[in-house]
Amino acid sequence: MKNDCVFCAIAAGEIPSFKVCEDDAVLAYLDINPFTKGHTLVIPKKHSTGLLDTDDAVLAAVVARVRKVAARLKEALPCDGFNILQNNGEAAGQTVKHLHFHIVPRYAGEPFVFESHKGDMEELKALAGRVRMA
């Protein structure tokens, strides 16, 4: 891996991912240890550690993609709602020091918890295709 940052390595294609949306500035992909089915990460391709050191134009592009991907997830899954999470700093639960937003689909009747579990790679691959097409 050329990049010290795992998310930079994913954006550079050094680590495979289940992409659902990509352009020159932003990448969205399914989390392989999801809180819920369809849990997606949205990152800028240009490295920044968090909200406070991200360029305004980059942040605007990322947030626009968060909205676009959330709409695609709602259609493709379908889910009943979603949470948008963004952690800044270790004390806030940020484990990768690269700006990222979590889109966590929610389903009626499921408990409201944030606990990851190992995802099924074949299911993630199929879902990524459905979300790209939505």
* The residue count for the chain: 134
Segment 17-27, tens digit of pLDDT = 999 999 999 99
Integer Rg of the chain from CA: 14
**Identified catalytic residue from 47, 100, 102, 117:** 100
pLDDT mean over 23-38: 95
Segment 108-122, tens digit of pLDDT = 998 877 777 788 888
Is 100 assigned a catalytic role?
A: yes
Q: What span, in angstroms and rounded, lies between the C-alpha atoms of 18 and 28?
A: 9
Q: How many CA atoms lie within 13 A of 30 on its CB side?
A: 28
User: 17-133, what's its fold?
Assistant: HIT family, subunit A (3.30.428)
The ranges assigned to domains in the chain are: 17-133
